[in-house]
Amino acid sequence: MTKEISLPVLILHHALPCLLFLLLGVSNAASELEDYQTYIIRMDHSHKPASFLTHESWHRSVLKTLSYPANDEEMMLYSYNHVIHGFSARLTALQLSEIEKSSAHLATYPESFGKLFTTHSPKFLGLKGKSGLLPAASYGEGIIIGIIDTGIWPESDSFNDRGMPPVPERWKGQCENGTAFSPSVCNKKLIGARSFSKGLQAAGINISKEYDYNSTRDFFGHGTHTSSTAAGNHVPGVSHFGYARGTARGVAPRAHVAMYKVLWATDTEKSAASDVLAGMDQAIADGVDVMSLSLGFGQTPFFKDVIAIGSLSAIRKGIVVVCAAGNDGGRQTIYNGAPWITTVGAGTLDRSFHSTITLDNGLTFKGISYFPQSVYIADAPLYYGKDDLNKATCNLGALNPDEVAGKVVICDNTTKIDVYGQMEEVDRVGAHAAIFLTDTSDLYSDDYSIPSLTLPTSSGILIREYVTGRKKPMLKTMRFVLTELGTKPAPQVASFSSRGPDPISPGILKPDILAPGVDVLAAVAPNIPYMEMGNYELVTDYALYSGTSMAAPHVAGVAALLKAVHQDWSPAAIRSAIMTAAYTIDNTGSILKDENTGLLATPLDFGAGHINPSKAMDPGLIYDINFQDYVEFLCGLGYNEKQMKIVLQQSQWNCSQEPTDLNYPSFIAIFTNETVKNFSRVVTYVGEKEASYRAFLDCPMGMKIRAEPSILTFTEKYQKQAFVLSVEIDGNAPGMIYGNLKWIDQHNHTVSSPIVAIKT
Ligand SMILES: *[C@@H]1O[C@H](CO)[C@@H](O)[C@H](O)[C@H]1NC(C)=O
Ligand SMILES: *[C@@H]1O[C@H](CO)[C@@H](O)[C@H](O)[C@H]1NC(C)=O
Ligand SMILES: *[C@@H]1O[C@H](CO)[C@@H](O)[C@H](O)[C@H]1NC(C)=O
Ligand SMILES: *[C@@H]1O[C@H](CO)[C@@H](O)[C@H](O)[C@H]1NC(C)=O
Ligand SMILES: *[C@@H]1O[C@H](CO)[C@@H](O)[C@H](O)[C@H]1NC(C)=O
Ligand SMILES: *[C@@H]1O[C@H](CO)[C@@H](O)[C@H](O)[C@H]1NC(C)=O
Ligand SMILES: *[C@@H]1O[C@H](CO)[C@@H](O)[C@H](O)[C@H]1NC(C)=O
Ligand SMILES: *[C@@H]1O[C@H](CO)[C@@H](O)[C@H](O)[C@H]1NC(C)=O
């Protein structure tokens, strides 16, 4: 069940202040405002005159010395020092052109706006309390996860600091005072809280107190959800209105959380790039170990992508950057695919939510339902508009209240069941409950306005037979709030999860990894109702959300655990461990399936596979990547000097003569007219005992794979060995073809990498 979290209430009400603004007739101010736009300006910091002690004072003086200077206090939004070198400011076209003439100017990005990747658990991850990664990592103790999101609800029980170690001494962050947010709400769990909204406000979008808090307090629950998913403390007995009841616990329950609020509940539900960069800049300065972003901007080359550039700065400082891959579903819809970012797709959990019905003839059916109350319906008459197709399908306006009120109505529409159609209709006519027969339900967890369930049309045949064959068909019982575990098949690639190839750098396989992103239960902000039912607004402290937004913090939590165990590992080493330990077989023994089609999914959908944290702790081998390797990768993209400077944020770099492969833990070959591609890789041994690894190759028809050498022996930890993987396709190969390389040692370490070949 997936859904874009929409904020209809906000949209409706926001029109009001805008209207007032116009009526007050501040027209002069408005026309002046139009001339100003926000730009992110990249400066070459090697040009900073020594007389300026700080970059910020230099940036301010650049603004002050323009021919038509305005007050620099007003023009400047942020001075950036860690994530990029530069600043954001509101400028006229004239002012901008003046700055662009300066030899210190490197690049200009007009303000852009990103969106959240939410569509509307740890047990499943195999993280057990008594053994494995969790205790080995002391539950993430000492690690700080920075979340770039919508803020946090600090009173949520998930952020209590029972059992938490003290705030690390190296921590430089703080908890800002603001509306409904006193610094005293921070504790040993929530150690940092800051908010950034200058960019949005400069774009004329007000942070109004009716729709958001002017502080790090979360208004609509998204940031509370993602941070409690990554690092929430144990909270027993929570549920989504009774569904999924159990103990809520973040992936790294003893890691610290720092929230950087950059997304605001405005009529646009967007974040400004200048604010996101400011949040990332501060997170780097404060000293986070892992950064998680469940948002994205457009798909643009790296030299135009401030998030990619900012992430490279973070990676360079050893910070793991985890990003959601996006919710656009189809091919080539990857966001945040830079090879230094860990890009996360969404998988389903092995959990489903049900209602059961029993008919008078004894037949029992189980269907999907999120109806938020455990009502029990017994001995109710059934209604089915069998003589009128319109009535049978419950199309809007089709039902007659006199015929249906108080009855359990059956709606039979194989093509469309949704909240604005059938659900509204059964509610309108006062039906007691509803049974939807469909294979294509668009109902989400907050759409259940009357007791109802969805049954697949295959089981609908028997129901239709029963109701059309009886004069007075009766429903014997109907029950709700049933949670089933072990649902099969699971995990699947969520229908909305963005898929590769990555349009920006198709030579790197993305997404990297799949993590739970469908109906994830975590803490939310209880200030706004989760849903409405009749005259009631239902509020909850924990709720089910879906999206790659929910998947990314799972991986951030696992990265925190791995970092706690292996403090000296680079971000690339941590990602390599996560990827090569992933699994691609579901709980029925099949390759992971695509929720959309029910067909086998591919590495273009799930990357290396589904995350398997405990195995990632002891991966055997890692494919490490250092900064120079990323430089070489960028050299290979054919960027000009200026573009290189912009991405690398340094004025000098070395490109080797020969193009080199990035030492990535997955392989994607795009063939045009050639038929063989060789990949060079170097693996680093991270085990303790001597080990000998043998290559096991999975070659489908039409593809030949060789690893040379095919045996790698290691005598000590951190020893490196190189190999060449040669991928060959023949004339009969399909357009897209998938293989696999596994290095397996005598201690049963399995280091697995997907191989994708695409013929164009
Ligand atoms: C934003 O808020 C300010 C101060 O409350 C107000 O003067 C202005 O009209 C608002 N602008 C919009 C676009 O709502
Ligand atoms: C904290 O913020 C609130 C709301 O903006 C304000 O009323 C209060 O005076 C601030 N307190 C301090 C110590 O700045
Ligand atoms: C929000 O708070 C900041 C400081 O905490 C203040 O500068 C800003 O004007 C406030 N914005 C609104 C819309 O009240
Ligand atoms: C299903 O409902 C839609 C509108 O909600 C209607 O257009 C369509 O005809 C119905 N399909 C069937 C098979 O009745
Ligand atoms: C480039 O390579 C040369 C020679 O190996 C080295 O001296 C220099 O420091 C390198 N420059 C950068 C920016 O890495
Ligand atoms: C492959 O095609 C490119 C141009 O599309 C051409 O330059 C190159 O020579 C071709 N290579 C081979 C081996 O045919
Ligand atoms: C690819 O590697 C194989 C060895 O695995 C080697 O025989 C072949 O010459 C290489 N081809 C190219 C184009 O480098
Ligand atoms: C490795 O796994 C195989 C099969 O899964 C098993 O038979 C063997 O005992 C294992 N070896 C070690 C050293 O764990």
Looking at the fold, whether 103 and 144 belong to one and the same domain comes out as no
**If you measure from the C-alpha of residue 669 to the centroid of ligand 7, how many angstroms do you get, rounded to a whole number?**
14
The values of phi and psi at residue 272, to 5°, are: -90, 140
Separation CA 203–CA 633 (nearest Å): 36
Q: What is the pLDDT of residue 197?
A: 94
Looking at the fold, whether 282 and 146 belong to one and the same domain comes out as yes
The per-residue pLDDT for range 288-306, each reduced to its tens digit, is: 999 999 999 989 999 999 8
Q: Which atom of ligand 1 is nearest to the CA of 17?
A: 14
Mean pLDDT of the chain: 89
Q: Which of 384, 386, 415, 425 to probe ligand 4 with, by most ligand atoms within 8 A of CB?
A: 415
**If you measure from the C-alpha of residue 12 to the centroid of ligand 4, how many angstroms do you get, rounded to a whole number?**
29
Separation CA 644–CA 164 (nearest Å): 43
In-domain check, residue 361: yes
Rounded mean pLDDT, 410-433: 89
Q: pLDDT band at 123, cuts 50/70/90? A: very low
Whether the per-residue pLDDT at 113 is higher than 50: the answer is: yes
Rounded mean pLDDT, 749-757: 97
**If you measure from the C-alpha of residue 652 to the centroid of ligand 5, how many angstroms do you get, rounded to a whole number?**
8
- CATH number, domain of 469, equals 3.50.30.30
Separation CA 87–CA 62 (nearest Å): 10
Q: Which of 678, 725, 755 to probe ligand 7 with, by most ligand atoms within 8 A of CB?
A: 678
Q: Minimal CA–CA distance to 472: which of 387, 366, 375, 359? A: 359
Low-confidence winner among 61-75, 346-360, 607-621 (lowest mean pLDDT): 61-75
Name the E strands within 317-469.
Answer: 320-324, 342-347, 351-359, 364-368, 376-383, 408-412, 433-437, 452-455
Contacts of 353 (CB under 8 A, 6+ apart): 243, 244, 368, 369, 370, 445, 481, 482, 483, 484, 519
CB-based contact 410:437 (threshold 8 Å): yes
Torsion, Cα 442 446 452 454, to 10 degrees, reads 30
3-state helix, strand, coil in the chain (%, to 5): 25, 30, 45
Instruction: For residue 744, give the ligand nearest its CA.
Output: 8
Q: Which atom of ligand 3 is nearest to the CA of 178?
A: 5
Q: What is the pLDDT of residue 268?
A: 56
Q: CB burial class (10 A; 0-12, 13-18, 19+) of residue 311?
A: buried
Q: Which atom of ligand 1 is nearest to the CA of 26?
A: 9
Residues with CB under 6 A from ligand 8: 747-748
Report whether residue 18 contacts ligand 1, using a CB cutoff of 6 Å. Answer: yes
Q: Which of 644, 654, 655 to probe ligand 5 with, by most ligand atoms within 8 A of CB?
A: 654
Contacts of 712 (CB under 8 A, 6+ apart): 683, 692, 693, 721, 723, 743
**If you measure from the C-alpha of residue 433 to the centroid of ligand 4, how many angstroms do you get, rounded to a whole number?**
20
> Among positive and negative, which fits the CA dihedral 260, 263, 266, 272?
positive
Q: Which atom of ligand 8 is nearest to the CA of 746?
A: 13
In-domain check, residue 585: yes
Whether the per-residue pLDDT at 211 is higher than 90: the answer is: no
Instruction: For residue 206, give the ligand nearest its CA.
Output: 1
Looking at the fold, whether 86 and 183 belong to one and the same domain comes out as no
The per-residue pLDDT for range 690-741, each reduced to its tens digit, is: 999 999 999 999 999 999 999 999 999 999 999 999 999 998 888 999 999 9
Q: Which of 201, 214, 215 to probe ligand 3 with, by most ligand atoms within 8 A of CB?
A: 214
* Total domains present in the chain: 4
Report whether residue 181 contacts ligand 2, using a CB cutoff of 6 Å. Answer: no
Nearest-CA residue for ligand 8 atom 6 is: 748
Q: What is the pLDDT of residue 71?
A: 66
Neighbours of 630 (CB within 10 A): 20
- CATH number, domain of 64, equals 3.30.70
Q: Whole-model pTM?
A: 0.90
The per-residue pLDDT for range 483-508, each reduced to its tens digit, is: 999 999 999 999 999 999 999 999 99
Cβ burial 659-689 (10 Å sphere, 16+ → b, else e):
eebbbbbbbbbebeeeeebebebbbbbbbee
In-domain check, residue 645: no
- CATH number, domain of 230, equals 3.40.50.200
Q: What is the pLDDT of residue 15?
A: 27
Cβ burial 101-139 (10 Å sphere, 16+ → b, else e):
eeebbbbebebbbbbbbbbbbbebbebeeeebbbeebbb
Q: pLDDT band at 264, cuts 50/70/90? A: confident
Whether the per-residue pLDDT at 121 is higher than 50: the answer is: no
Separation CA 383–CA 408 (nearest Å): 6
Please report the DSSP string for 617-666 in residue order: TS-SEE----HHHHHHHHHTTT--HHHHHHHH-SS-----SS------SS
Better pLDDT: 210 or 184: 184
With H, G, I as helix, E, B as strand and everything else as coil, classify residue 271.
Answer: strand
Q: Which atom of ligand 7 is nearest to the CA of 677?
A: 13
Q: What is the pLDDT of residue 417?
A: 85
In-domain check, residue 651: no
Separation CA 639–CA 627 (nearest Å): 17
The values of phi and psi at residue 603, to 5°, are: -60, -20
**If you measure from the C-alpha of residue 672 to the centroid of ligand 6, how many angstroms do you get, rounded to a whole number?**
8
Q: Which atom of ligand 7 is nearest to the CA of 706?
A: 5
Q: Which of 195, 549, 614, 666 is catalytic?
A: 549
Instruction: For residue 747, give the ligand nearest its CA.
Output: 8
Instruction: Quote the Cα angle for 255-258-262, to 5°.
Output: 145
Instruction: For residue 395, give the ligand nearest its CA.
Output: 4
Nearest-CA residue for ligand 1 atom 1 is: 206
**If you measure from the C-alpha of residue 654 to the centroid of ligand 5, how many angstroms do you get, rounded to a whole number?**
6
Report whether residue 653 contacts ligand 5, using a CB cutoff of 6 Å. Answer: yes
Q: What is the pLDDT of residue 535?
A: 79
> Among positive and negative, which fits the CA dihedral 554, 178, 314, 499?
positive
Provide the H-helix boundaries in 65-196.
72-75, 93-101, 133-136
Q: Which atom of ligand 8 is nearest to the CA of 748?
A: 1
222 is catalytic: yes
Q: What is the pLDDT of residue 339?
A: 98
Looking at the fold, whether 374 and 460 belong to one and the same domain comes out as yes
Q: Which of 14, 222, 240, 749 is catalytic?
A: 222
In-domain check, residue 203: yes
Rounded mean pLDDT, 526-542: 84
Low-confidence winner among 11-20, 45-54, 421-430 (lowest mean pLDDT): 11-20
The per-residue pLDDT for range 624-679, each reduced to its tens digit, is: 999 999 999 999 998 999 999 999 988 899 998 887 899 999 999 999 989 999 99
In-domain check, residue 540: no
In-domain check, residue 156: yes
CB-based contact 648:109 (threshold 8 Å): no
Report whether residue 673 contacts ligand 6, using a CB cutoff of 6 Å. Answer: yes
Looking at the fold, whether 276 and 337 belong to one and the same domain comes out as yes
Residues with CB under 6 A from ligand 3: 178, 207, 214
- Final residue of a domain: which of 592, 616, 640? 616
Q: Is 142 left (phi over 0), alpha (psi -120 to 50) or beta?
A: left
Looking at the fold, whether 710 and 679 belong to one and the same domain comes out as yes
14 is catalytic: no
Looking at the fold, whether 697 and 735 belong to one and the same domain comes out as yes
Q: Which of 670, 671, 672, 673 to probe ligand 6 with, by most ligand atoms within 8 A of CB?
A: 673
Q: What is the pLDDT of residue 380?
A: 95
Neighbours of 277 (CB within 10 A): 29
Separation CA 594–CA 598 (nearest Å): 5
Looking at the fold, whether 164 and 312 belong to one and the same domain comes out as yes
Looking at the fold, whether 103 and 238 belong to one and the same domain comes out as no
Separation CA 285–CA 317 (nearest Å): 10
Q: What is the pLDDT of residue 536?
A: 83
Q: What is the pLDDT of residue 73?
A: 67
Looking at the fold, whether 429 and 341 belong to one and the same domain comes out as no
Looking at the fold, whether 676 and 730 belong to one and the same domain comes out as yes
Q: Minimal CA–CA distance to 363: which of 487, 464, 472, 450? A: 464
**If you measure from the C-alpha of residue 635 to the centroid of ligand 7, how many angstroms do you get, rounded to a whole number?**
23
**Domain of 97, in residue numbers:** 29-111
Q: What is the pLDDT of residue 273?
A: 94
Q: What is the pLDDT of residue 72?
A: 64
Q: What is the pLDDT of residue 12?
A: 25
**If you measure from the C-alpha of residue 12 to the centroid of ligand 1, how many angstroms do you get, rounded to a whole number?**
17
Q: What is the pLDDT of residue 120?
A: 53
**If you measure from the C-alpha of residue 118 to the centroid of ligand 4, how many angstroms do you get, rounded to a whole number?**
29
**If you measure from the C-alpha of residue 697 to the centroid of ligand 8, how many angstroms do you get, rounded to a whole number?**
19
Separation CA 421–CA 417 (nearest Å): 7
Looking at the fold, whether 517 and 480 belong to one and the same domain comes out as no
In-domain check, residue 319: yes
The values of phi and psi at residue 97, to 5°, are: -65, -30
Q: Which atom of ligand 6 is nearest to the CA of 673?
A: 1
